[in-house]
Chain A
Amino acid sequence: MAAQAKHDWADDEDLDDSGIQNAAASSGIVDLPPTQKITNKDGSTTIIEYRYNDNGQKVKTTRRIRFITHREVVNPRVAERKSWPKFGQSAKDGNGPAPDTTSVGENIIFKPSINWRKDAKDESKDPNAQAMKDKLKDKKVKCRICNGEHFTARCPYKDTMAPIGEAADVAAGGMDDGGDPALASVGAAGAGKKGSYVPPALRGAGGAKGESMSGGSKYGERDDLATLRVTNVSEMAEEGELRDMFERFGRVTRVFLAKDRDTGMAKGFAFISFADREDAVKACNKMDGWGFKHLILRVEFAKKAA
């Protein structure tokens, strides 16, 4: 953290034009405030240092450091080597690791396991597929047009009959698996503009469950506590990319990206399940409003499928 303290850029111009005296006056000769050390209540120390950078600008560095004494017994040879002076390109470095050559990477979870490969695969696919199968076992396919036992798309009356949702009264009765009175009323009120597009981000906003969720009921009562709904996802998105983005916050157990069956393009929403709800909260806070493929993601907790 470096802040330029009380130095106007306009002064720099002067400094360049008006020769040595001025330059000398503003670069180095003026005494710097002494280094301050403040001991904080929580046991950490704040160190404020001032220095001039290459352009003669004053730089204030504030570091907050907590000292933890860690005792380690090493053999005398190692101990001796720790006191060696630095040399070569490191000759000018101070004590401790120099920030330009040494940094700490992100945490890597590494736990050897015999079936690590299977574990990795299982968590992405198998439990969901199994859960889905279980849920679908006692579900029947029901046509929205004629209530027959086939998919709506395969309905013989597809072109001749209007879907049940067309008329307001049928809509209320027709969404039998919705069951949500709020939704039914919304459906009734909005029946006139049924075909109008509602952006995915707004679908859930009315307090009713989103339109995109209507298909979600078949996934049953998965642990929704740690599941995020991501909307406004680009058509070009891939599950892997989403997984990569969200894995930063913790272990992701499932990524579901809705895709168009024919084109294979993403439909614009996805569900991300975390193993841990706290991770999900973190991810929700961080990723809401995140730019991804020219679109701004909207992330919220998935609502329970009614």
Chain B
Amino acid sequence: MRPILLSGHERALTQVKYNRDGDLIFSVSKDQQICVWYAHNGERLGTYHGHQGAIWTVDVDPTSTIIASGSADNTIRLWDIKTGKCLKTWEFPTAVKRVEFNEDGTKLLGVTEKRMGHLGTIVVLDIIVDVDAEQSDEKAMTIVCDESKATVAGWSYLSKYIIAGHEDGSISQYDAKTGEQILNYPIHELDNAITDIQWSQDRTYFITASKDKNAKLITAKDLEVLKTYVSDTPLNSAIITPKKEYVVLGGGQAAMDVTRTSARQGKFEARFYHKIFEDEIGRVRGHFGPLNTVAAEPNGKGYASGGEDGYVRVHQFDKGYFDFMYEVERERANRIGVTA
């Protein structure tokens, strides 16, 4: 496969997102602008300007009408995808590290940083998915994380729970209506921050990435660890690929240590694991720095990765990727083929 390199950012990428149809890619970096790209050819559709600080996160609503972004300038902003216009700004006392729409786009959660005497919080905003609508100023709910700040968070299936990953390596489950903490398990090693949570397509389970070099597949309902993927480098991002039963992990040495090592030792590769068998099945190299973020194409045809090197690489999988099967999988496929 020939990856497409997107070089619209001048600084390290922080998050990359596909919209639900898989035709647009949104990328944010520390250089204060959001870029949107056509996924099929890497053409840049536009940029969104207004943030005054590094942008940590972006998310797109399910209808691809609006996007939300969270930044180190202590705001969450809502943008019209088509025109690049900023529709709404919410101010917070500290930086916003993660935003995510729920399944139908009516709610948005934001994770705010713990700093300057303010505790880390998860805020929920009501959203009207319409470019012309007047968005509410009020926060629908605020969850305060008084033990360990949340680093990432997301909505489970049916917007029933909010799942948050914490700096101390624990995962918690909150009731999405009341904000009450239901569960909190120390799933990753103590004091190894959870760096990413991404969902399966039906949002019944998710994958976490952590600085403890492991990624775990966890159920949303009772936070049961289903699978563990062990790697040899701190992880920044993990995805579950649709269509094929793989997971992709992205990571690499911390940015501050990079100058001391060569690119090969730096382990700046996307690692593919089989979702069920937990085996590593291959790597894709290309980045010159650690991978900060990985995003799966919703149709399972490819993935995009954003690195500390400022590039987004968009990959379309070859036939070999789709053909690969374990022996047991092949046997099963053959059996089904015979009976059908």
Footprint of B on A, CB under 8 Å? 74-75, 77-78, 81-82, 84, 86-91, 93, 96-98, 100-108, 110-114, 116-117, 240
Minimum distance in angstroms from B301 CB to a CB of chain A: 12
Question: If the complex has contacts A89-B47, A90-B45, A101-B44, are A75 and B4 also in contact, measured as CB distance less than 8 A?
Answer: no
Cβ of B166 under 8 Å from chain A: no
| Structural contact, B44 and A90, CB atoms closer than 8 A | yes
Measured between beta carbons, the chain B residues less than 8 angstroms from A101 are 6-8, 42, 44
| Structural contact, A116 and B280, CB atoms closer than 8 A | yes
Which chain B residues numbered 1 to 51 have a C-beta less than 8 Å away from chain A? 1-8, 21, 23-24, 33, 37-38, 41-49
| Structural contact, B42 and A102, CB atoms closer than 8 A | yes
Q: Which residue of A lies closest to B273 (CB)?
A: A112
Question: If the complex has contacts A108-B285, A111-B324, A116-B281, are A97 and B5 also in contact, measured as CB distance less than 8 A?
Answer: no
Minimum distance in angstroms from A74 CB to a CB of chain B: 7
Cβ of B186 under 8 Å from chain A: no
Which chain B residues numbered 291 to 337 have a C-beta less than 8 Å away from chain A? 313, 315, 317-318, 320-321, 324, 326
- The 7 tightest CB contacts between A and B, nearest first, are A88-B47, A87-B46, A111-B320, A102-B42, A112-B324, A112-B281, A88-B46
| Structural contact, B321 and A107, CB atoms closer than 8 A | no
Cβ of B169 under 8 Å from chain A: no
What are the interface flags for B222-238 relative to A under an 8 Å C-beta threshold, 1 for contact and 0 otherwise? 00000000000000000
Of the A-B pairs whose beta carbons lie under 8 Å apart in the complex, a sample of 9, sorted by A's number, is A89-B8, A101-B7, A102-B4, A108-B284, A110-B284, A110-B318, A111-B321, A113-B281, A117-B280
Cβ of B84 under 8 Å from chain A: yes
Choose one: A75, A77, A96, A108; the contact of B43 (CB below 8 Å). Answer: A96
| Structural contact, B47 and A110, CB atoms closer than 8 A | no
Given contacts A77-B64, A84-B82, A104-B5, 15 further A-B contacts (CB under 8 A): A78-B23, A81-B23, A82-B38, A89-B8, A91-B46, A101-B8, A103-B5, A105-B313, A110-B317, A110-B321, A111-B318, A111-B320, A111-B321, A112-B274, A116-B282
Footprint of A on B, CB under 8 Å? 1-8, 21, 23-24, 33, 37-38, 41-49, 64, 82-84, 246, 264, 272, 274, 279-286, 313, 315, 317-318, 320-321, 324, 326
Measured between beta carbons, the chain B residues less than 8 angstroms from A97 are 41-44
Choose one: A86, A88, A100; the contact of B49 (CB below 8 Å). Answer: A88
Minimum distance in angstroms from A132 CB to a CB of chain B: 26
Measured between beta carbons, the chain A residues less than 8 angstroms from B38 are 82
| Structural contact, B46 and A114, CB atoms closer than 8 A | no
Measured between beta carbons, the chain A residues less than 8 angstroms from B24 are 81
Q: Which residue of B lies closest to A102 (CB)?
A: B42
Kindly state the separation between the CA atoms of A100 and B84 in the bound complex, as whole angstroms.
Answer: 20
Kindly state the separation between the CA atoms of A62 and B150 in the bound complex, as whole angstroms.
Answer: 54
Measured between beta carbons, the chain A residues less than 8 angstroms from B44 are 86, 89-90, 93, 97-98, 101-102
Kindly state the separation between the CA atoms of A102 and B312 in the bound complex, as whole angstroms.
Answer: 10
| Structural contact, A113 and B41, CB atoms closer than 8 A | no
Kindly state the separation between the CA atoms of A91 and B282 in the bound complex, as whole angstroms.
Answer: 39
| Structural contact, A114 and B281, CB atoms closer than 8 A | yes
Measured between beta carbons, the chain A residues less than 8 angstroms from B1 are 107-108, 110
| Structural contact, B281 and A77, CB atoms closer than 8 A | no
| Structural contact, B6 and A102, CB atoms closer than 8 A | yes
Measured between beta carbons, the chain B residues less than 8 angstroms from A93 are 43-44
Measured between beta carbons, the chain A residues less than 8 angstroms from B246 are 112
Measured between beta carbons, the chain A residues less than 8 angstroms from B6 are 101-102
Measured between beta carbons, the chain B residues less than 8 angstroms from A98 are 43-44
Minimum distance in angstroms from B10 CB to a CB of chain A: 11
| Structural contact, B84 and A102, CB atoms closer than 8 A | no
| Structural contact, A111 and B282, CB atoms closer than 8 A | yes
Kindly state the separation between the CA atoms of A75 and B37 in the bound complex, as whole angstroms.
Answer: 18
Q: Which residue of B lies closest to A72 (CB)?
A: B40
Choose one: A81, A103, A110, A112; the contact of B64 (CB below 8 Å). Answer: A81
Minimum distance in angstroms from A164 CB to a CB of chain B: 46
| Structural contact, B4 and A104, CB atoms closer than 8 A | yes
Kindly state the separation between the CA atoms of A101 and B42 in the bound complex, as whole angstroms.
Answer: 9
Measured between beta carbons, the chain B residues less than 8 angstroms from A77 are 21, 64
| Structural contact, A105 and B2, CB atoms closer than 8 A | yes
Kindly state the separation between the CA atoms of A86 and B44 in the bound complex, as whole angstroms.
Answer: 8
Minimum distance in angstroms from B238 CB to a CB of chain A: 17
Q: Which residue of A lies closest to B24 (CB)?
A: A81
Measured between beta carbons, the chain B residues less than 8 angstroms from A100 are 7
Kindly state the separation between the CA atoms of A100 and B264 in the bound complex, as whole angstroms.
Answer: 27
| Structural contact, B324 and A113, CB atoms closer than 8 A | yes
Kindly state the separation between the CA atoms of A81 and B44 in the bound complex, as whole angstroms.
Answer: 12
Q: Which residue of A lies closest to B19 (CB)?
A: A81
Kindly state the separation between the CA atoms of A110 and B272 in the bound complex, as whole angstroms.
Answer: 10
Minimum distance in angstroms from A68 CB to a CB of chain B: 13
Question: If the complex has contacts A81-B64, A87-B84, A102-B6, are A112 and B282 also in contact, measured as CB distance less than 8 A?
Answer: yes
Minimum distance in angstroms from B138 CB to a CB of chain A: 30
Kindly state the separation between the CA atoms of A227 and B339 in the bound complex, as whole angstroms.
Answer: 50
Kindly state the separation between the CA atoms of A78 and B279 in the bound complex, as whole angstroms.
Answer: 36
Measured between beta carbons, the chain A residues less than 8 angstroms from B83 are 87
Kindly state the separation between the CA atoms of A104 and B246 in the bound complex, as whole angstroms.
Answer: 25
Question: If the complex has contacts A87-B46, A89-B47, A110-B1, are A105 and B282 also in contact, measured as CB distance less than 8 A?
Answer: no
Q: Which residue of B lies closest to A244 (CB)?
A: B264
